[in-house]
Amino acid sequence: MSTEAREAPQAPEDPRRGTLRSGKGRLADPIFKWVVAACGTTVLVILALMVIRTTSEAWPVFAKEGFFGFLFGETWNPGRSRTEITGTYGAWPFIYGTMVTAVIAIAIALPLSIMVAVYLTHLAPRRLAKPLSYTVELLAAVPSVIFGLWGLHWFLPTVLRPFFTWLESILGWFFLFEGPVRGVGYLPAGIVLAIMILPIMTAIIREVIAVQPVEQQMAAYALGSTRWEVITKVILPASFSGIVAAAMLGLGRALGETIAVLMLIGGSQSWGASLFGTGSSMASHIAATFGESSPESRIALMAIGVALFLVTMIVNILARVVVWRLGQFTGDAAV
């Protein structure tokens, strides 16, 4: 700048021409900044709109049933009114279905994803590790409607139904496995959900394990530990919070999954203890009945959506807080 100032007197124009704060296009920078800032704020606006719009829409239902009455009521009997709330709305059967399927999914996917992540980081031949993790993550790319189709028309009749019949014949006395085996129900939905959330959980746990300091592991090996001992006594305890975060993100996915669950859970509006029984999850009930619903019951479906949103947000925010504390491992490959 100083050299320009020295030569400037020869030029008849403004000596500050060409510096950053003057001349043509001076406004371009602030305008650009404001445009991208406005775009950035859109995310916040969309989220705020989501909360406000759906809650205000669903408010009459909460007002009539009461928040807890809505959550724990067991009858879902939609009215046909256009202007007021006349039916009875209790979302408990759907909340129960959501919880049961999500718990089944986590119970299967969590141990499996921990084992796969450990295998990928510590056991896999170096050349295979990358293609293998890539393949597991490819599973995350499969659209959920394909999981539903495959589950309903291949996995269920070929693998699950024979397995369920066998399970029922052995453990039928236990209330969780009471017959009859109808095919669709909580258990198949939960099992397919487990397959669907496996990739994201594996991806996060793998990243968490991969950044554990090598020195500790080397020290454990030097003390004569076997690989199994290093894994269970050094790596996994140190990765505990990351594993919790992964489980919660997986749980968030499982709670909100719609189409695959809808195709496999059976769609009844009752609930029962048996895992072979049919039911509905919150999301699947919304999708299943939305098309034929009266305006009034659509408002009630909106209320289910708000409850679902609340639960998944709590789970997700807790998980994100754990992940953020850990640093920057967010399972990008499988978002």
**Which of 195, 235, 245, 300: binder of another protein (CB under 8 A)?**
195
Per-residue contact string for residues 214-253; x = within reach of another protein by CB under 8 A? -------x--xxxxxx-x-----------------x--xx
Part in contact with another protein (CB under 8 A); list of ranges 9-17, 64-72, 174-182, 283-291? 283-291
Identify which range of 65-73, 85-93, 119-127, 172-180 contacts another protein by CB under 8 A.
119-127
User: Which of 12, 82, 126, 335 touches another protein by CB under 8 A?
Assistant: 335
Contact status: 136 vs another protein (CB under 8 A): yes
- In the complex, minimum distance from the CB of residue 84 to another protein, in angstroms, rounded to a whole number: 16
Question: Shortest Cβ distance from residue 122 to another protein (Å)?
Answer: 8
325: contact with another protein by CB under 8 A = no
- How many binding residues for another protein (CB under 8 A)? 96
Does 147 help bind another protein (rule: CB under 8 A)? yes
Instruction: Choose, by CB under 8 A, the member of 120, 197, 205, 300 that binds another protein.
Output: 120
The 3-class secondary structure across the chain, one letter per residue, is: CHHHHHHHHHCCCCCCCCCCCCCCCCCHHHHHHHHHHHHHHHHHHHHHHHHHHHHHHHHHHHHHHCHHHHHHCCCEECCCCCCCCCCEECCHHHHHHHHHHHHHHHHHHHHHHHHHHHHHHHHCCHHHHHHHHHHHHHHHHCCHHHHHHHHHHHHHHHHHHHHHHHHHHHHCCCHHHCCCCCCCCHHHHHHHHHHHHHHHHHHHHHHHHHCCCHHHHHHHHHCCCCHHHHHHHHHHHHCHHHHHHHHHHHHHHHHHCCHHHHHHCECCCCCCCCCCCCECCHHHHHHHHHCCCCHHHHHHHHHHHHHHHHHHHHHHHHHHHHHHHHCCCCCHHHC
Q: Per-residue x/- mask for another protein, residues 80 to 99, rule CB under 8 A? A: --------------------
Is residue 201 within the footprint of another protein (CB under 8 A)? no
What is d(CA 60, CA 233) in angstroms, rounded to the nearest whole number?
54
Q: Find the binder of another protein among 11, 17, 32, 171 (CB under 8 A).
A: 32
Interface segment toward another protein; rule CB under 8 A; list 38-46, 173-181, 210-218, 234-242: 38-46
35 binds another protein (CB under 8 A): yes
138 near another protein, rule: CB under 8 A = yes
Which is closer to another protein, CB of 107 or CB of 313?
A: 313
* 110, 115, 135 from 330: Cα distances, Å: 17, 19, 18
Measured from the CB of residue 195, what is the shortest distance to another protein in angstroms? Answer: 5
Q: Which of 256, 266, 277, 279 binds another protein (CB under 8 A)?
A: 256
Burial class (CB in 10 A: 0-12, 13-18, 19+), 268: middle
Q: How far is the CB of 63 from another protein (least distance, A)?
A: 17
Which residue's CB is nearer to another protein, number 174 or number 290? 290
